[in-house]
């Protein structure tokens, strides 16, 4: 069995050519403009708005600060419904806003917050929903829209995994009041660290733009409590250079996903996450699998360890659940009876290495090692 010499990580950042980056750095040097919405920032914001098929877009220094600004822009308060099967940033952003996260269960097929569980959790204190398109599988956006309308709730989507995702031909960022994107180095499109908020109307975009710049209205007026969420020129330039190589990266990831799907099909206890039929463009950021407890030959933790021995650093995203964190485990919504599907999935999910510089042979070898342990 093939053992990799060096660790194969779950991802590897997409690196544009140094020549392209250097050319853009020269432009920044000659402009003498380093941050605060300069030329690179404007160019990137416009390009991404078109690419993501959203009406309005505002760039940020990272996705987490973007989430904070989204909550502030919508004046979230009280309680907000969210999922425990996500990265720490999702509930943490609510807590930093002074909002109480209320955890709901997930749908066992999409791994996203379930509309039924949202309905069950709504009380007079509920002011909004913070839903996550986990691993780039879209939430049930139409049901969530209907529930939110009926109960007068704000909807923020955490689209950290959903760059480029389209549903029924629409950019995923056109659903809900605001969608956050993360441009962290581990994402397909990135600006080293970075993020963005998408929304529908220019007035909300203006408010978001001001909030990310300390709530400065003009040289003599600060209208509220803003934050510094700006993306600088060097990072915007890197983003522009990454855009030039992104389509090739997407092709490579499509190919690797296909290799995994073919090589790992029909293994007892290994399930894929299938995208709903109305997905018209994939995000291709993660390759999650579910290793079914009591069905697969090894459980997820055993397989994860076994892969490590072969230098394959798959990740147990998202384990532990956010409801297990010390800061959330005392919440009434964190009790196991409230989140049975999320608990089960967090014991079974694993994301496999997915990035453009992974070769076909490496992908086949990874699949062979998994197959070996699950079928031997």
The residues of the shown chain that bind ligand T4K, judged by CB under 6 A, are: 9-13, 62-64, 86-87, 89-90, 132, 158, 160-161, 182, 184-186, 195, 313, 317
Pairwise CA distance, residues 263 & 258, whole Å:
8
Q: How far is the CB of 61 from ligand T4K (least distance, A)?
A: 9
- 70 or 207: whose CB is closer to ligand T4K? 70
- 86 or 210: whose CB is closer to ligand T4K? 86
Q: Where are the alpha helices (DSSP H) in 310-350?
A: 340-348
Q: Are 125 and 77 in contact (CB under 8 A)?
A: no
Q: Residue 175 in 3-state DSSP?
A: coil
Pairwise CA distance, residues 12 & 125, whole Å:
42
Q: Are 331 and 101 in contact (CB under 8 A)?
A: yes
Q: How far is the CB of 223 from ligand T4K (least distance, A)?
A: 26
DSSP code of 2? -
- 38 or 63: whose CB is closer to ligand T4K? 63
Q: How far is the CB of 59 from ligand T4K (least distance, A)?
A: 12
Q: How far is the CB of 63 from ligand T4K (least distance, A)?
A: 3
**Which residue's C-beta sits nearest to ligand T4K?**
63
Q: Which of 330, 327, 217, 240 is nearest to 28 (CA)?
A: 240
- 132 or 366: whose CB is closer to ligand T4K? 132
- 267 or 358: whose CB is closer to ligand T4K? 358
The number of CA neighbours under 13 Å toward the Cβ of 57 is: 25
Q: How far is the CB of 13 from ligand T4K (least distance, A)?
A: 5
Q: Which of 136, 146, 150, 205 is nearest to 176 (CA)?
A: 146
- 160 or 172: whose CB is closer to ligand T4K? 160
Residue 178 sits at φ, ψ, to 5 deg, of -145, 140
- 144 or 296: whose CB is closer to ligand T4K? 144
Residue 8 sits at φ, ψ, to 5 deg, of -100, 110
Q: How far is the CB of 191 from ligand T4K (least distance, A)?
A: 10
Q: How far is the CB of 199 from ligand T4K (least distance, A)?
A: 17
The number of CA neighbours under 13 Å toward the Cβ of 170 is: 14
- One-character DSSP codes across 255-315: HHHHHHHHHTTT-TTEEEPPPPTTEEE-----EEEEE-TTTSSS-HHHHHHHHHHTTEE-B
Q: How far is the CB of 295 from ligand T4K (least distance, A)?
A: 27
- Pair of tokens at residue 20: 């392209």
Strands 126-132 and 79-82 turn out to be parallel
Q: How far is the CB of 230 from ligand T4K (least distance, A)?
A: 14
Pairwise CA distance, residues 75 & 207, whole Å:
11
- 125 or 308: whose CB is closer to ligand T4K? 308
- 260 or 355: whose CB is closer to ligand T4K? 355
Q: How far is the CB of 195 from ligand T4K (least distance, A)?
A: 5
Pairwise CA distance, residues 189 & 356, whole Å:
12
- 203 or 327: whose CB is closer to ligand T4K? 327
């Amino acid at each position: 069995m093939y053992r990799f010499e060096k660790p194969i990580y779950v991802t590897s950042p997409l690196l544009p050519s140094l020549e392209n980056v250097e050319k853009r750095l020269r432009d920044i040097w000659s402009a003498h403009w380093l941050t605060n919405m300069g030329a690179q920032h404007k160019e990137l914001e416009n390009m991404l708005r078109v690419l993501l098929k959203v009406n309005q877009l505002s760039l940020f220094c990272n996705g987490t600060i973007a989430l904070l600004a989204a909550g502030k822009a919508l004046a979230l308060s009280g309680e907000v419904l969210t999922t425990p099967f996500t990265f720490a940033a999702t509930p943490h952003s609510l807590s930093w806003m002074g909002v109480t996260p209320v955890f709901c269960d997930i749908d066992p097929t999409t791994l996203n917050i379930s509309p039924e569980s949202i309905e069950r959790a709504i009380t007079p204190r509920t002011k909004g929903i913070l839903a996550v398109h986990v691993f780039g599988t879209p939430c049930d956006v139409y049901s969530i829209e209907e529930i939110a309308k009926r109960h007068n709730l704000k909807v923020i989507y955490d689209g950290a995994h959903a760059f480029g995702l389209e549903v029924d031909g629409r950019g995923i960022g056109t659903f809900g009041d605001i969608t956050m994107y993360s441009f962290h180095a581990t994402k397909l499109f990135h600006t080293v660290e970075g993020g963005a908020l998408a929304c529908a109307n220019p007035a909300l975009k203006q408010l978001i733009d001001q909030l990310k710049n300390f709530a400065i209205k003009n040289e003599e007026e600060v209208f509220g409590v803003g934050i510094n969420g700006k993306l600088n020129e060097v990072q915007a330039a890197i983003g522009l250079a990454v855009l030039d190589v992104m389509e090739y990266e997407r092709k490579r990831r499509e190919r690797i996903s296909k290799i995994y799907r073919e090589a790992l099909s029909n293994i007892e206890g290994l399930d894929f996450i299938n995208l709903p039929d109305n997905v018209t463009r994939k995000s291709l950021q993660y390759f999650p699998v579910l290793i079914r407890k009591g069905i697969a030959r090894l459980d997820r933790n055993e397989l994860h360890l076994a892969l490590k021995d072969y230098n394959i650093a798959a990740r147990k995203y998202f384990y532990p659940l956010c409801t297990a964190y010390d800061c959330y485990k005392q919440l009434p919504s964190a009790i196991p009876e409230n989140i049975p599907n999320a608990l089960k999935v967090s014991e079974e999910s694993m994301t496999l290495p997915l990035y453009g510089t992974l070769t076909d042979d490496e992908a086949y070898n990874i699949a062979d090692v998994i197959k070996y342990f699950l079928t031997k």
